[in-house]
Amino acid sequence: MARLYSREELFTARTKWKRAGKTVVFTNGCYDLLHPGHIRLLEQARSRGDILVVGLNTDAGVRRAKGAHRPLICEQERAELLLALEAVDAIVFFDEDTPRELIAGLLPDVLVKGADWSHFIAGREEVEAAGGTVSALALEPGYSTTGIIERILNHQP
């Protein structure tokens, strides 16, 4: 079932999932250099429902958020990596600076972000207004894409 959806296809699928009584969980990110911290967060997110949808920043969105030297891996390949994970059911790209508009259209039952974003979780108001829940999950210590890149550049283990 895991696949890449257009926004319209995702909204159509969401209607079917809702009719089938499925709990839809949404999270988002760049996932530029997939690491164990990402895997564990995605598995925790998936455990909160029946279907995990990942909003994936486009390459242009990653550049705006992370700088001109990112992403390291193009959006199609990042999507391919995420779709290979058992926890991920659906991927949808978004190019906006935040996924608020996407979340407002999808209205997941559960919205999940890493605790590093607990001060601002885009889409929180829309999800809670629709009766959904929002969770900020603790991050795995020692895992950060930026930190990994810095260690590689500095030739550190």
What's the pTM value of the predicted model, to 2 decimals? 0.91
Give residue 120's pLDDT band: very low, low, confident or very high (50, 70, 90).
Answer: confident
DSSP 58: -
CB atoms closer than 10 angstroms to residue 49 = 20
pLDDT score, position 52:
98
| CA separation for the pair 111, 99 (Å, rounded) | 11
Predicted confidence (pLDDT) per residue in 61-117, tens digit: 999 999 999 999 999 999 999 999 999 999 999 999 999 999 999 999 999 998 776
CATH number at residue 35: 3.40.50.620
pLDDT score, position 1:
62
Mean pLDDT score of the chain: 92
Q: Which residue segment(s) compose the domain that 21 sits in?
A: 3-153
Count up the domains in the chain and report the number. Answer: 1
